[in-house]
Chain A
Amino acid sequence: MKINRRDLLKSLAPLPLLGVFGFATNWDYRINKKEKIKKNSFINDLNIHPQIPPPPPPIKGKPVKLGVIGTGIRGEQLMWGLGFVHPDAMAYWKKNLPEKLESFRQQEKLNIKITAICDLFDFRANQAMETLGNGGEEPVRYKTYEELLHKADVEAVIIATSDLWHAPIATAAAKAGKHVYVEKPLSHKVNELYQLKKTVEQSGITFQLGHQQRQHQSNYTAREILNKNIAGHINLIQASTNRNSDNGAWQYYTYPEHPESSIDWRNYIKGYYDLPFSREHFFRWRKYWKFGSGLTGDLLTHDYDRMNLITGMGIPRYVTASGGIYTHRDGRNVPDVMQVGMEFPEYFKGSSQKSGKEKGMSFLYSATLGNRFSRETLLMGHDATLELKNDLLLWIDKNSTRYQEVLNQGLVDVNEPIRGFTAENDVDAITSATAQYFANKGLLYDYRDEKLVDITHLHLKEWLSCIRSGNKPSCSINDGFEEAITSLMATLAYKTNQRVEWDRQQQIIQVPGVPNNKLDDLLIKT
């Protein structure tokens, strides 16, 4: 074999090009790296870390003896969170929602014993008995909550009734010395709310309001972002409800195959109303002011409580509201399209501009039950916008004062959100399409140790742990008071078409032209 000069030249001909390749690659790499380091250092400088609520201490000692009052739709979901599923639901999950079943199977077993249940509808009560009996000992079913509350083998109660009954039952329970977990909204009426707050504070029981999103890390991370003044002065919050189904509009099944005699109507209206039996009022109570609270109590409260946790804004000074029954003209009397404007003229947490320039904030809640286009949940500050989904996004504002320099240097792209502050959530596989609304609001699942966990379970667990440890749960009676006052103010504003004011000095709601002792009548008026 002989290699001549010609061979050598031709064989090595591509090498200079390879040199060009190497040079270009190196150049490209150095530029990218420099940019990346600068961009990363900007994000690192923000110093944002996911804020995962610390796990509560284990429920020590003997199992907590629980009573469940109200075993309907929400009551059933709460029992899932406690670790009990009806065999029919289990079979359904197995077939249609295997991920949900898997998440349930991995859910921590709680140190509890459900000793008592109460529901006014035989079918639902029996279903609960089957659910619990499935796991071992059957609890006792009581016909009224009063009977249940007087049992010594009930230490704590979970209340998941219609809105009308939340406050009276919670008050009675606190008086009886039972720990309370009550569903939102905290109260259907103004006076009962004051009474409940006083009773709970005096009783020393462990109280938790059922806003389970207080377990979701994205809310705590958002709070951290505001505490670090990363977004500048928040001047507008936008939250919305967007649903487009009969189920989402509370047009629930009314069980026509079950006789009237299986429904304890008398106890349902006892002490409040003298009304003829009505399946509409019993099963679709969310549609009527007499039993439910419409969009304000049902759905605004979720967004309000979440924002209150993040910002600590408290009760709005003024509330206005408008809307109507535009999408479900089926005889309901609560609106199905609604706007609520909440004003916080004193709100201020921090700013990047000169002192005194900024102060005050509006919170606009807008709801429709006739369209499910997902409108963003936003906290809008002078320097950045926080977008709350199941994930948390931070959008830097182009006209920000704080970030002007990095914007000029091109280190941040205003069209690309900064993300990754929370575990990436993949809940699509686990929930039905209708549950997606709740999932996007962070009301269903969150991650703990890389596992998908039902946050209702976490919320219940925290309460149960506090019963034993004496710690305070995350959604206190005070948080509940602020939530309920706000939602009641919104309802009153809607009903009177007036701007409703919170008198902080006197701690009362002021509705122009309406004496304070007439507010409750107005709230249930159709």
Chain B
Amino acid sequence: MEKTRFLSNRQLLSLSILRILVGWHLLYEGVTKFLTPGWSAYGYLMSAEGFLSGFFQSMASDATILEIVNLLNKWGLLLIGLGLFIGLLTRLSIYSGALLLLFYYLAHPPFIGIEYGFLTEGNYLLVDKNLIEMAVLLALSFFPTGQYIGLDRIIFKNQVN
């Protein structure tokens, strides 16, 4: 396996650290949602802006759909974060994470002419942290770091060989 490697140790290590940092962030976002009693995506969805605001708000207005969205968010963030962190099912985690971040980006897009008042920290023009984190994940998808530093190394060992 090491023979087929095309990355230097430093490159591999820094990409893995990048993956673990994103994992840490998403995992913690998930964990806090479990630790906050009565947490709900309601406010986040209702304050949605941009061309998909109606779609996000309609999610919040239906109790059943909202409940599903809440569950997907909590478990999604938790499992994706964990996957990235420990390099477990890394590719799946990367793609799911990128998709989730795309939703966050579109729910509150930093488009020209949209004001968020107190909701944002910092200043963004078209590009925000969600978009950057998504791009990081997409970039990482081209480097299977989990198969070097992470549990995928054991799981996919025979496949690589």
Contact = CB atoms under 8 A, between A and B. Distances in A.
> Do A and B interact with each other, yes or no?
yes
Interface of A: 1, 3, 7-8, 10-15, 17-18, 21, 25, 29
B149 A13 contact: yes
A226 B31 CA distance: 41
B20 interface: yes
Nearest to A17: B20
B154 A14 contact: no
Contacts of A17: 20, 24, 85
16 contacts: A1-B157, A1-B158, A3-B154, A7-B154, A10-B153, A11-B151, A11-B152, A11-B153, A11-B154, A14-B85, A14-B87, A18-B85, A21-B85, A25-B28, A25-B31, A29-B35
Contacts of B148: 10
Given A1-B157, A25-B28, A11 B35 contact: no
A295 to B, nearest CB: 34
Contacts of A10: 148-149, 153
A35 to B, nearest CB: 14
B97 interface: no
| B interface majority secondary structure | helix
A1 B161 CA distance: 9
A18 B157 contact: no
B80 interface: no
Given A8-B154, A10-B148, A11-B150, A18 B86 contact: yes
B140 to A, nearest CB: 14
B21 to A, nearest CB: 10
A12 B151 CA distance: 6
Contacts of A25: 28, 31
| A interface majority secondary structure | helix
Interface of B: 16, 20, 24, 27-28, 31, 35, 85-87, 148-154, 157-158, 161
Contacts of B85: 14, 17-18, 21
Contacts of B161: 1
Nearest to A21: B24
A13 B17 CA distance: 11
B97 to A, nearest CB: 16
B78 to A, nearest CB: 12
A126 B129 CA distance: 63
Nearest to B82: A18
A3 B157 contact: yes
Contacts of A14: 16, 20, 85-87, 149-150
B154 A21 contact: no
B28 A21 contact: yes
A30 to B, nearest CB: 11
Contacts of A13: 16, 149-150
A72 to B, nearest CB: 39
A7 B86 contact: no
A526 B27 CA distance: 74
A420 to B, nearest CB: 13
Contacts of B16: 13-14
A131 to B, nearest CB: 34
Contacts of A7: 153-154, 157
- Identify which of B85, B153, B157 gathers the most chain A CB atoms within 10 Å of its CB: B153
A12 B28 CA distance: 20
A420 B27 CA distance: 31
Contacts of A8: 154
Nearest to B12: A10
A11 B154 CA distance: 7
Contacts of B20: 14, 17
Contacts of B149: 10-11, 13-14
A41 to B, nearest CB: 16
Nearest to A1: B158
A516 B150 CA distance: 94
A29 B31 CA distance: 10
Contacts of B154: 3, 7-8, 11
B148 to A, nearest CB: 6
A66 B31 CA distance: 62
A381 to B, nearest CB: 29
Given A21-B85, A25-B28, 14 more contacts: A1-B157, A1-B158, A1-B161, A3-B154, A7-B157, A8-B154, A14-B16, A14-B86, A14-B87, A14-B149, A14-B150, A21-B28, A25-B31, A29-B35
A99 to B, nearest CB: 14
- Identify which of A11, A15, A17 gathers the most chain B CB atoms within 10 Å of its CB: A11
Nearest to A33: B35
A15 B86 contact: yes
Contacts of B24: 17, 21
A271 B161 CA distance: 109
Contacts of B86: 14-15, 18
Contacts of B28: 21, 25
> Top 6 A-B pairs ranked by shortest CB distance?
A11-B153, A1-B158, A11-B154, A14-B86, A13-B149, A11-B151
A21 B81 CA distance: 12
A14 B87 CA distance: 8
Nearest to A3: B154
A7 B1 CA distance: 10
A289 B46 CA distance: 49
